[in-house]
Amino acid sequence: MKLFINACVRKGSRTRRLAEVHMGADREAWKEVYLPSIDFPRVDEAFLTWRDACIEKGDYSSPVFDLAKDFAAAEEIVVAAPFWDLSFPSTLKQYFEQVCVLGITFIYTEDGQPRGLCRAKRLTYVTTAGGPVYSADYGYGYVRALATIFYGIPETRLIKAENLDILGADVEALLKAAMEEA
């Protein structure tokens, strides 16, 4: 299975368009997780206590663990997230809070280091920005760190189109240039 994590809120999202070009014509091969439609559980002490008890028992039968199971099983992952407020939409952070599950997407080794349990060989992060992406560290950098340190995904890529809302920008030319890199 190939996994498309879609954090794009707008119907005409430029980020989504760019991600779809990257994924190619075979959209049936991709399972989409549309983050704006998910009502994520509140991560508070009660939730964490319950989740930790499930993990300790090795009981991953609750639907709460389905996102993590799909993420771990995916052969390839594309994340589409517009560049908002120097980062990405909050639903993407909520998603990763649900996916980062001990025993499903990673374990700790005897020396305390995380070791990834995910099958994916590559994660591609796609973003667009109205202005410049000042630093990829805030959005892509966070996702890249999770992918490599916790999930064991050996390759991450960034595809971006920026300065799309700058006065006089040729949006289609900027998107086309980014699509050609994809």
CA distance 24 to 4: 12
Q: Which domain holds residue 102?
A: 2-181
List, in order, residues 6 or more apart from 175 with CB less than 8 Å away.
14, 17, 18, 128, 161, 164
Count structural domains, the chain. Answer: 1
CA 173, distance to chain mean position in Å, is 26
Predicted confidence (pLDDT) per residue in 32-57, tens digit: 999 999 999 999 999 999 999 999 99
Pairing of the two strands 106-108 and 155-161: unpaired
pLDDT at 86: 87
Q: Is 130 exposed, middle or buried (0-12, 13-18, 19+ CB in 10 A)?
A: middle
Angle between the N-to-C axes of helices 14-23 and 171-181, in degrees from 0 to 180, rounded to the nearest 10:
30
Average pLDDT, stretch 147-167? 96
What one-letter code names the amino acid at 60?
Y
Rounded to two decimals, the pTM is: 0.94
For residue 140 the two structure tokens come to 């892509």
Predicted confidence (pLDDT) per residue in 77-98, tens digit: 999 999 988 899 999 999 999 9
CA 132, distance to chain mean position in Å, is 21
- CATH number of the domain where residue 133 is located: 3.40.50.360
Predicted confidence (pLDDT) per residue in 88-135, tens digit: 999 999 999 999 999 999 999 999 999 999 999 999 999 999 999 988
145: pLDDT strictly greater than 80: yes
> Phi, psi (5° rounding) for residue 43?
-90, 90
141: pLDDT strictly greater than 90: yes
143: pLDDT strictly greater than 70: yes
Q: For residue 76, give the 3-state DSSP assignment.
A: strand
